[in-house]
Structure 1
Amino acid sequence: MIEQANAGKFIDPARTADGAPRATVALTHPKTLWFNTGTLCNITCLGCYIESSPSNDRLEYITLDDIAPYLDELAALGWPVDEIGFTGGEPFMNPQIIAMMEAALDRGYRVLVLTNAMKLMMRPRLQQGLKRLVARYGDRLTLRVSLDHWQPEPHDEIRGAGSYAETIRGLHWLRDEGLRITIAGRALWGLSDAEARAGYGAFFARHGLAIDANDPAATVIFPEMDENAEVPEITTACWGILGKHPDSVMCASSRMVVKRKGQPASVLACTLLPYDDQFELGRTLAEADRPVALNHPHCAKFCVLGGASCSI
């Protein structure tokens, strides 16, 4: 529990436990609008930040009718967003995923889909849809495939026996069909960044994947998010101490739309905190254009100290 590991911390949005002013981040350069397609997933992974599983439907399937008003609002607001992201759960479980991707691509956006590239993506209907989209929109469509480790045993330890082999089949299909692929890994095994990138680089060469292991946008190695770990709170003074700027944090450049079970769609500060009400910013994008207090351990460890970003 957060309360046990960080007793007294992350309570007041305005002040840290020692009374210092808490850091906030304004939406200074909106770049990515995320849609959570639903929390249902075909597998259950250890450490999934959103607790996706075959039974978790706390976030319902979002639909084309749900996302269309947000795409319209983007145009009306004139935000400089150039990327629409789809995350889950597993996006390819959502029956309308191809239609939603096409709607965003048709409006001129780049589209990023986070997927495990397993059996669901290999269904003929989905494959035909992906073939049509890549033929029409080319490399404006990117699939970021979760590959927790470049070797099967560590990957299967996280995602279940046989998941590595399924993901490899999916990667090969995407490669052969000419889709643009990036990789999401995890910093779990005590390896240095250089060691991990060398491992992924050798894997890419072995499988004929045109992915740059040394490009952090093409091979993303995410820091772990453990709510039981003790982490420091981020004060306004931390920016100068750390040599960072609020603009580098994900909530300065993105928002996420979710559909909680039995509720209309709403806008959250980011992709990492789908269940915390303090990060719900309203029903519209205009309402969500306000500063976000970094009042959660994920804000500190993942975004500020870990330097992670979910976008391309």
Structure 2
Amino acid sequence: MPANKGKFIDPQITADGEVRASVALEGLRTLWVNTGTLCNIECANCYIESSPGNDRLVYFRASDLAHYLAEARSLGAPLEEVGFTGGEPFMNPEIIEMARLALGAGHRVLILTNAMRPMMRPRMRAGLAALQADFPGLLTLRISLDHPRAEVHDAERGPGTHAVTLEGMRWIRDAGIEMHVAGRSLTDETEAETRAAFAALFEAEGFATDPQDPAQTVIFPEMDLSVEVPEITTACWGILGKSPSDVMCSGSRMLVHRKGAARPAVLACTLLAYDEGFELGGTLAEASRPVALNHPHCAKFCVLGGASCSA
């Protein structure tokens, strides 16, 4: 029997007939931008299926971001951070301009990157150095380093990718840019063991990233849809000792531009770029309504895993 058969169908009611939990937007604190699904590599298990040939989400434009930043101001959103994800954000030719727009508006900027060749092009390095000089302390790069051991990382991302990513991380270190790391639970070791391995790598490389700080070194669970997960009901908050405020979509939304679409759309979540049930409209105002936790990722990643893409 397939995992989760009969579950995550009705946005209001679970398979057992209970009221499904939902999360209200308490204030837009993080605005995510998917810069496009094109990536310079193709990982074995990419949650968004990014690759050199996947352009289902096309390059986001700086002019569109400027529009949404203006809307956020007009709505009085308590926007603190603009995050850029992909694909590989540094493949988007307007990434530096978009980061400058967000920083110039007074927001912190977080860019998720594999720190490989797209980021290391001279124009991108010059742009990052200029942003760091103009907005010191407000720019953070989060590097996708799946595991400190090369053989584990390379099994996911391709032979030699670990070494190339480390080259990029050394450049970030030398440029003085704040650097965080995102790993994944790809082995059977404990989280403490994984963090200890990251600590050894960071010390050897002179990286200032704190391996014990879950905001600086994020260990994400694998997004495996073949694994059975429970649906989250309204009763679960009390049972689990958690609150809707703990869930990522209580304070964030994501902008995407689908291939062939006339305009961008606002989604509930960075993890569900293709699920039309999590598309909330074309404006931030339209996207302010509550989000039903009607996907396995809602349970495993956000509620039970307690993870968040934001810094």
TM-score (structure 2 length as normaliser): 0.99
Please state whether the residue corresponding to 1:104 is helix, strand or coil.
Answer: helix
Q: Give the corresponding residue for 1:18.
A: 16
Q: Give the corresponding residue for 1:272.
A: 271
- Of 99, 102, 107, the residue aligned with 2:100 is 102
Please state whether the residue corresponding to 1:13 is helix, strand or coil.
Answer: coil
**Corresponding letter in the other structure for 1:301:** K
Instruction: Deviation per CA, 1:280-304: give whole Å up to 9, x if none.
Output: 0000000000100000000010110
Percentage identity across paired residues of the two chains: 63
Instruction: Deviation per CA, 1:70-126: give whole Å up to 9, x if none.
Output: 000010011111000000000000010000000111111000000000011111111
Q: CA deviation at 1:4?
A: 2.2
Q: Give the corresponding residue for 1:91.
A: 89
Q: CA deviation at 1:30?
A: 2.1
Please state whether the residue corresponding to 1:52 is helix, strand or coil.
Answer: coil
Q: Give the corresponding residue for 1:59.
A: 57
Return the alpha-carbon distance in structure 1 between the equivalents of residues 186 and 244 of structure 2.
27
Q: CA deviation at 1:188?
A: 1.5
Return the alpha-carbon distance in structure 2 between the equivalents of residues 16 and 86 of structure 1.
33
Return the alpha-carbon distance in structure 2 between the equivalents of residues 255 and 147 of structure 1.
25
Return the alpha-carbon distance in structure 1 between the equivalents of residues 128 and 28 of structure 2.
27
**Corresponding letter in the other structure for 1:244:** K
Return the alpha-carbon distance in structure 2 between the equivalents of residues 148 and 64 of structure 1.
30
Return the alpha-carbon distance in structure 2 between the equivalents of residues 274 and 30 of structure 1.
18
Q: Give the corresponding residue for 2:79.
A: 81
The alignment's C-alpha RMSD in Å is 0.8
Paired residues for 1:160-171 under 5 Å: 160-171=158-169
Return the alpha-carbon distance in structure 2 between the equivalents of residues 121 and 95 of structure 1.
11
Kept in 1, the 8 Å contact 2:152–2:186? The answer is no
Q: CA deviation at 1:65?
A: 1.2
Q: Give the corresponding residue for 1:306.
A: 305
Contiguous gaps of at least 5 residues in structure 1:
none
Say how many residue pairs are matched. 310
2:294 is the alignment partner of 1:281: no
Paired residues for 1:94-133 under 5 Å: 94-133=92-131
Return the alpha-carbon distance in structure 2 between the equivalents of residues 280 and 156 of structure 1.
34
Contiguous gaps of at least 5 residues in structure 2:
none
Return the alpha-carbon distance in structure 2 between the equivalents of residues 124 and 224 of structure 1.
33
Return the alpha-carbon distance in structure 1 between the equivalents of residues 25 and 146 of structure 2.
30
Please state whether the residue corresponding to 1:114 is helix, strand or coil.
Answer: strand
Paired residues for 1:161-240 under 5 Å: 161-240=159-238
Kept in 1, the 8 Å contact 2:266–2:283? The answer is yes
Please state whether the residue corresponding to 2:287 is helix, strand or coil.
Answer: coil
Return the alpha-carbon distance in structure 1 between the equivalents of residues 131 and 119 of structure 2.
14
Please state whether the residue corresponding to 1:51 is helix, strand or coil.
Answer: coil
- Of 34, 37, 41, the residue aligned with 2:35 is 37
Instruction: Deviation per CA, 1:188-220: give whole Å up to 9, x if none.
Output: 201111111111111100000001111000000
Instruction: Deviation per CA, 1:149-183: give whole Å up to 9, x if none.
Output: 00111000000001001000000000001111000
Return the alpha-carbon distance in structure 2 between the equivalents of residues 99 and 65 of structure 1.
10
Stretch moving more, 268-277 or 188-197 = 188-197
Q: Give the corresponding residue for 2:6.
A: 8
Structure 1: which 4+ aligned runs deviate by more than 6 Å?
A: none
Please state whether the residue corresponding to 2:183 is helix, strand or coil.
Answer: strand
Return the alpha-carbon distance in structure 1 between the equivalents of residues 277 and 100 of structure 2.
32
Please state whether the residue corresponding to 2:171 is helix, strand or coil.
Answer: helix
